[in-house]
Amino acid sequence: MRDHLIIFDTTLRDGEQSPGASMTKEEKVRIARQLERMGVDVIEAGFPAASNGDFEAVKAVADTIKDSVVCGLARAIEADINRAGEALRGANAARIHTFIATSPIHMKNKLRMSPEQVIEQAVKAIQWARRYTDNIEFSPEDAGRSEINFLCRVLEAVIDAGAKTLNIPDTVGYTMPDQFGRLIRTLRERIPNSDKVVFSVHCHNDLGLAVANSLSAVINGARQVECTINGLGERAGNAALEEVVMAVRTRQDFFPCDTRIDTTHIVPASKLVSGITGFPVQPNKAIVGANAFAHESGIHQDGVLKHRETYEIMRAEDVGWGANKLLLGKHSGRNAFRSRLKELGIEFESEEMLNTMFVRFKDLADKKHEIFDEDLHALVSDEVQTPEEHYRLLSLIAHSETGEIPFARVVIADGNNELHAESEGSGPVDATFRAIEKILNSGAELQLFSVNNITSGTDAQGEVTVRLQKSGRIVNGHGADTDIVVASAKAYLSAFNKLYSKLEKAHPQV
């Protein structure tokens, strides 16, 4: 019987650490439901001590998810662990993931603790976590640069204290696959009680080696991989869930284990995360990129037509391509709309909200004949607002004519007030942004303006991502509409609202 490779998804925690990739509580719940449908074993829902918003999001995921373990991250500090335990109280199955740095540079310069103090604190953290659950994971932060003898001592101590999973992170993406694999094997061989725990890995992609390092660790005995949808994450990101899962699934002749992931949910999950975060997937991205199963070379096309396996090692349908079939249209009723949203993991707290969304769905159906699942996700992301999103687009007139200077006129809601402005620009989008700035006077720097089609066809909704920066804070905003200029205005206001929200987070690196 093959070993079970545990898939630990940290899209909602480490993935959210990408600059501008913050998610609302409702968005986190939607993604968590998709991960649950996919069969993810452990969902790391966030870092409850980071902010009240993170606490509420972890609590909401814990209260919602039934088939996956829900995990909360905590530093090896009693207050952090208590906060995580409280957030996870409603979970069917809960895990607390605690960590402390073990490399000399981190212990000396960040923690200002001696090695003995670090061991003592790590053991205390396990003991505090056991008040809430027996499912405890421990990570020695910056393990890749830690001294092996000390690393063995720390890990042996936390196993004795009750840790069930040991996660070895390559926090800064520094190690090479052969080197990282040897580290996992060495730890398993040298730690006397290593047979009592599952070894896990959490690899960053700074050198483009996160998946390779993770798979090398699996070959050397790791049985949990920490990863994210689309490889989302801090700096260059994390190991991509879809690549790890499909590498192991495709090469069963090489790997002595397999996952329980329903791979047909991979592409829908990728599109959902991309839409919510506003981070588009590059076309040549493995598994989930638009070109992943495209063949342009005549030789390749001829080979695939004669026998698919000549140039394809996976089937597109096995990872969920082609699953965005038409399900709803302008004649669909409220019950069909509600049922499809529920299947997609989207539920509203009130009937009033559902009714509002149904009206907007009907408006979209009048503009766009074919409504796909991606359209519904974009509609909800675009329209469900959080308390911090104070400003909202009410109306927009944009004019562009050959030989004339484009201009735009906008009306924005500020609470119960209506604010009006108009401006010229180099194009309708530029004019719209200038008009909005006349109202907001934010002084923010526009760092990114990106447009992507949500589905195919000339009537497709456009999804716009806007990235703003001010005083070192970077946020992404996104908006969707069949009119690109309207989508752009929505995206700009979405980013502005996030930029000026008071939410502060203290994200750790693991």
Q: Which two tokens stand for residue 20?
A: 């501008």
My answer on whether 305 and 256 are in the same domain is no
Q: Determine the Cα–Cα distance for residues 164 and 199; give it in Å rounded to an integer.
A: 9
CA nearest neighbour of 192 among 163, 218, 153, 138: 153
- Residue 508 has a pLDDT of 66
Q: Is 420 annotated as a binding residue?
A: no
My answer on whether 106 and 236 are in the same domain is yes
Question: For residue 10, which phi and psi values (nearest 5 degrees)?
Answer: -120, 30
Q: How many CB atoms lie within 10 A of CB 367?
A: 12
> Residues 63, 65, 66, 68: is their CA dihedral positive or negative?
negative
Residue 141 near residue 170 (C-beta atoms within 8 A): no
**N residues, the chain:** 510
Q: Determine the Cα–Cα distance for residues 175 and 17; give it in Å rounded to an integer.
A: 21
CA nearest neighbour of 275 among 262, 288, 293, 294: 288
Residue 221 lies in a domain: yes
- Paired strand residues for 392: 413
| Segment 428-468, tens digit of pLDDT | 999 999 999 999 999 999 998 988 887 777 778 888 989 89
Residues 6+ apart with CB under 8 A from 253: none
Q: Is 238 annotated as a binding residue?
A: yes
3-state SS string for 464-507: EEEEEEECCEEEEEEEEECCHHHHHHHHHHHHHHHHCCCCCCCC
Residue 358 lies in a domain: yes
Residue 486 near residue 475 (C-beta atoms within 8 A): no
> Residues 135, 59, 235, 227: is their CA dihedral positive or negative?
positive
- The domain that holds 167 is classified in CATH as 3.20.20.70
Residue 285 lies in a domain: no
Q: How many CB atoms lie within 10 A of CB 451?
A: 14
My answer on whether 304 and 430 are in the same domain is no
Residue 267 lies in a domain: yes
- The domain that holds 453 is classified in CATH as 3.30.160.270
Q: Determine the Cα–Cα distance for residues 395 and 390; give it in Å rounded to an integer.
A: 16
Q: How many CB atoms lie within 10 A of CB 254?
A: 11
My answer on whether 311 and 354 are in the same domain is no
- Residue 142 has a pLDDT of 85
CA nearest neighbour of 57 among 81, 21, 23, 80: 23
My answer on whether 409 and 438 are in the same domain is yes
Q: How would you classify the pairing of strands 6-9 and 391-399? A: unpaired
Helix (H, G, I), strand (E, B) or coil at 165: strand
The number of CA neighbours under 13 Å toward the Cβ of 97 is 32
Q: Determine the Cα–Cα distance for residues 374 and 291; give it in Å rounded to an integer.
A: 18
Residue 357 lies in a domain: yes
Helix (H, G, I), strand (E, B) or coil at 197: coil
3-state SS string for 451-471: EEECCCCCCCCEEEEEEEEEC
My answer on whether 230 and 353 are in the same domain is no
Calculate the alpha carbon distances from 508 to 46, 80, 198 in Å. 11, 12, 23
Q: Determine the Cα–Cα distance for residues 462 and 280; give it in Å rounded to an integer.
A: 12
Q: Which amino acid would we find at residue 327?
A: L
My answer on whether 351 and 395 are in the same domain is no
Q: Which two tokens stand for residue 489?
A: 């205005």
Residue 338 near residue 354 (C-beta atoms within 8 A): yes
What is the total count of domains within the chain? 4
Query: Which value, in Å, is the radius of gyration of the alpha carbons in the chain?
Result: 24
Residue 282 lies in a domain: no
Residue 134 lies in a domain: yes
Residue 30 lies in a domain: yes
CA 70-72-379 angle, 5° bins: 65
CA nearest neighbour of 478 among 448, 502, 507: 448
My answer on whether 413 and 371 are in the same domain is no
Terminal Cα-to-Cα distance of the chain (whole angstroms): 32
My answer on whether 409 and 353 are in the same domain is no
Structural domain containing residue 312: 293-323
My answer on whether 48 and 163 are in the same domain is yes
**Residue corresponding to tokens 């030789």:** 299
- DSSP state string for 366-407: HH-S-B-HHHHHHHHHHH---TT--EEEEEEEEE--TTS--E
Residue 399 near residue 407 (C-beta atoms within 8 A): yes
Residues 6+ apart with CB under 8 A from 352: none
CA nearest neighbour of 413 among 432, 396, 430, 426: 396
Q: Is 430 annotated as a binding residue?
A: no
CA nearest neighbour of 489 among 448, 446, 435: 435
My answer on whether 193 and 311 are in the same domain is no
Q: Is 202 annotated as a binding residue?
A: yes
My answer on whether 474 and 362 are in the same domain is no
Mean pLDDT per 10-residue interval, the chain, length 510 residues: 95 88 87 96 97 95 97 98 98 98 90 93 98 97 89 97 97 93 97 97 97 98 98 95 98 97 94 86 90 57 46 80 63 81 75 83 80 78 61 94 95 91 96 96 91 79 89 84 93 87 58
